[in-house]
A and B are shown apart, each in its own frame.
Chain A
Amino acid sequence: MKLARITLIFGLIASLLFVAGPTFGAGNGDAQNFAPDRVLVKFRAGTDLATRQTVHSRHGGLVLSEIPQLGIQVVRVPRGEVLQKAAAYKREKAIEFVEPDFIANAIEIPSDPYLANQWDLDKIQAQEAWNITTGNASVTIAILDTGVDQDHEDLRDKIVANKNFTTSSTVDDLYGHGTHVAGIAAASTNNGIGIAGVGYNCSIMNVKVLDDSGSGYYSWIANGIIWAADNGAKVINMSLGGSSSSSTLESAINYAWSKGVVIVAAAGNNGNTKPVYPAYYSNCIAVAATDESDAKASFSTYGTWVDVAAPGVNILSTLPNHKNRIGILNYGYLSGTSMATPHVAGLAGLVWATPYGTSNANVRSRIESTADPIAGSGTYWQYGRINGYKAVAPQDTGEPNKMHIQSITMALKKTGLYTYALATITVVDANDKPVAGATVSGHWSGATTDSDSGTTNGTGQVTVQSNGVRRARSGTTFTFTVDNVSLTGWTYDSANNVETSDSITVP
């Protein structure tokens, strides 16, 4: 049975839809999280009924209901044209804002019964990440290890390829290590069985490069790397390491990188800063281990050559359902940078399924740049402990810090023999939200010549008044031109102005 906790994520989904650049699905990774035929519209205060009707008519909108306390109308638009219609409404001067009628998403907790024991997934915000993407089966994570249990209930449906480069007689996992690693990276998730894997829907490629005692020659590992890269792996996980550098191994790493593969490797369990290979190579993401308190695991290798950290102490995952050297059947807890590494590999699988997944460099950068800078970052590891949600969520584009002029509204005011012109300037940000506190300066031309400036109020508006013209005749024209808009921390994006100058003529 699925459990669910309801979490409103309007803000998140809204930002997903309106940021520049990549667009994201959510929930199952593809579905749009808003009603397919409705938008929510708010007109500017004072907009009369006729204008409202004209706007709706122009865009084929039908008012279904209102939220009078908020002054918001629920408007039906042609099915499937929500985003186009929202954009069209936004261009109307009378509109304060318009947005899709978002679904308040439930963040589903996967049905895997042991999930409550997977502290590591909470720590990296895996469930929040899954609400944005659950990856897909076309993203294959190669597990270069001791093999993977071929008929484990929580893995068998995920294995898409097997290859053995060792002298072992089987691709199966007689040691137990590879099965544990594979489960962390991409166990079958939300299947009502066992554990959840970080990579959720990602597939597993079983590349056996360690023998049944957990060790392997460098040549086996180099062959495994090349084979995985040549056979469609998008991510290579190596929860293994050695103390000797090898040109053969580094060449294999560079080959896989050149084929677009994200390569993740364990930093090692030596508790010191000595390099461990292949993690030390620049084209590998080197992973240290942290505990439930976000502290460096005492055993973890560390140093500035290590890239990121991930949970690696008492990690619950799959173990073979047959005799193995770990000595536990089906599920169990293990510790090591071996366990930290597949968290990163699984996350890489998820990132590949987002619009950030355009290259291995981008995926790597995304994981590293969004890591939480926990204590020890910059010393024990460069970037921090990975954060799944932040890695797949859209980044702040910085667009809200740009402002432009949305409108200039002109009016005439007559006092005695004098006629004045009023110019009301509206300044908004990139999301068409009012910008308060901006200083607008400009000059008058035509009937008068002087300069004016003022500061926008809470609705982003400021009104400036021209000098008076005595006995202004019909045909007299006042023109106001904005010269600059300034506000600390903001950029005046004049190229995006709807208008920069406006005029009014005495009738």
Chain B
Amino acid sequence: MTAMGAEGEIVARAKNDLARRRGISPERIFLRHAETVTWPDASLGCPLPNRMYAQVLTPGYRLVLTDGITDYEYHTDNFGRVVFCRAVDPSNTI
């Protein structure tokens, strides 16, 4: 999937997830940043402490979304898996 694809389906999926979490319309969420990343394993860089993960390098994207107040980091693979990673201080985002 190309960066355009990331702007499309994957970003839309991330926006919809954040909108649901925040209880706001997806139209109020904007993409601040997108970059391609090779994640070290199937956790896509956001491992949970009680889980184990397949130890395979996984290409995908790091997305930073914003609702205008807070930034939110999403990690994805190239085939539609989108993981909410964390809320981040906007002053620290790229």
- Which one of A59-67, A211-219, A349-357 is at the interface? A211-219
**How far, in whole Å, are A336 and B40 apart by their CA atoms in the complex?**
8
In the bound complex, do residue B49 and residue A240 qualify as a contact, i.e. CB atoms below 8 Å apart?
A: no
Give chain B residues whose Cβ lies under 8 Å from the Cβ of A379. Answer: none
Instruction: Report if A243-B56 is in contact (Cβ < 8 Å); known contacts: A269-B41, A271-B40.
Output: no
Q: What is the minimal beta-carbon distance from B25 to any residue of chain A, in angstroms?
A: 27
Q: Which residue of B has the minimal Cβ distance to A180?
A: B56
Instruction: Report if A243-B57 is in contact (Cβ < 8 Å); known contacts: A218-B52, A269-B40.
Output: no
In the bound complex, do residue A325 and residue B51 qualify as a contact, i.e. CB atoms below 8 Å apart?
A: no
State whether the Cβ of A337 lies closer than 8 Å to any Cβ in chain B: yes
Q: What is the minimal beta-carbon distance from B62 to any residue of chain A, in angstroms?
A: 17
In the bound complex, do residue B57 and residue A335 qualify as a contact, i.e. CB atoms below 8 Å apart?
A: yes
In the bound complex, do residue B57 and residue A215 qualify as a contact, i.e. CB atoms below 8 Å apart?
A: no
Give chain B residues whose Cβ lies under 8 Å from the Cβ of A338. Answer: 41, 54-56
Q: Which residue of B has the minimal Cβ distance to A323?
A: B79
State whether the Cβ of A339 lies closer than 8 Å to any Cβ in chain B: yes
State whether the Cβ of B91 lies closer than 8 Å to any Cβ in chain A: no
State whether the Cβ of A239 lies closer than 8 Å to any Cβ in chain B: yes
In the bound complex, do residue B54 and residue A240 qualify as a contact, i.e. CB atoms below 8 Å apart?
A: yes
In the bound complex, do residue B79 and residue A336 qualify as a contact, i.e. CB atoms below 8 Å apart?
A: no
In the bound complex, do residue B42 and residue A213 qualify as a contact, i.e. CB atoms below 8 Å apart?
A: yes
State whether the Cβ of A235 lies closer than 8 Å to any Cβ in chain B: no
State whether the Cβ of B8 lies closer than 8 Å to any Cβ in chain A: no
Instruction: Report if A299-B57 is in contact (Cβ < 8 Å); known contacts: A215-B42, A215-B43, A269-B40.
Output: yes
Q: What is the minimal beta-carbon distance from A265 to any residue of chain B, in angstroms?
A: 9
Q: What is the minimal beta-carbon distance from A436 to any residue of chain B, in angstroms?
A: 55
Q: Which residue of B has the minimal Cβ distance to A209?
A: B52
In the bound complex, do residue B52 and residue A213 qualify as a contact, i.e. CB atoms below 8 Å apart?
A: no
In the bound complex, do residue B42 and residue A214 qualify as a contact, i.e. CB atoms below 8 Å apart?
A: yes
- Chain B 17-41 residues near chain A, CB threshold 8 A: 40-41
Query: Could you give, for residues 319-353 of chain A, a 1 whenever the CB lies within 8 Å of some chain B CB and a 0 otherwise?
Result: 00000011100000011111101000000000000
**How far, in whole Å, are A387 and B11 apart by their CA atoms in the complex?**
46
State whether the Cβ of B81 lies closer than 8 Å to any Cβ in chain A: yes
In the bound complex, do residue B79 and residue A325 qualify as a contact, i.e. CB atoms below 8 Å apart?
A: yes
In the bound complex, do residue A240 and residue B53 qualify as a contact, i.e. CB atoms below 8 Å apart?
A: yes
**How far, in whole Å, are A177 and B53 apart by their CA atoms in the complex?**
11
In the bound complex, do residue B55 and residue A239 qualify as a contact, i.e. CB atoms below 8 Å apart?
A: yes
**How far, in whole Å, are A325 and B76 apart by their CA atoms in the complex?**
11
State whether the Cβ of B77 lies closer than 8 Å to any Cβ in chain A: yes
Cβ contact of A240, chosen from B52, B57, B79, cutoff 8 A? B52
Query: Could you give, for residues 139-152 of chain A, a 1 whenever the CB lies within 8 Å of some chain B CB and a 0 otherwise?
Result: 00000011000000
State whether the Cβ of A270 lies closer than 8 Å to any Cβ in chain B: yes
Instruction: Select the residue from B49, B51, B54, B57 with max chain A CB neighbours within 10 A.
Output: B54
Q: Which residue of B has the minimal Cβ distance to A220?
A: B52
Query: Could you give, for residues 341-379 of chain A, a 1 whenever the CB lies within 8 Å of some chain B CB and a 0 otherwise?
Result: 100000000000000000000000000000000000000
Q: Which residue of B has the minimal Cβ distance to A270?
A: B40
Q: What is the minimal beta-carbon distance from A302 to any residue of chain B, in angstroms?
A: 13
Q: What is the minimal beta-carbon distance from B83 to any residue of chain A, in angstroms?
A: 9
- Chain A 380-429 residues near chain B, CB threshold 8 A: none
**Please, could you name 21 A-B residue pairs with CB atoms under 8 Å apart, sorted by A?**
A178-B54, A210-B42, A210-B53, A210-B54, A214-B42, A215-B48, A239-B54, A240-B53, A240-B54, A241-B53, A242-B49, A266-B55, A269-B40, A269-B56, A271-B40, A299-B40, A327-B78, A336-B40, A336-B56, A337-B55, A338-B56
The 3 A-B residue pairs with the shortest CB-CB distance in the complex, in nearest-first order:
A214-B42, A269-B40, A336-B56
Interface residues of B (CB under 8 A from A): 40-43, 47-57, 77-79, 81
- New A-B pairs, 16, CB < 8 Å, besides A180-B56, A299-B57, A327-B79: A210-B42, A213-B42, A213-B81, A215-B53, A216-B51, A216-B52, A218-B50, A218-B52, A242-B47, A242-B50, A242-B52, A271-B40, A277-B52, A326-B79, A336-B55, A336-B57
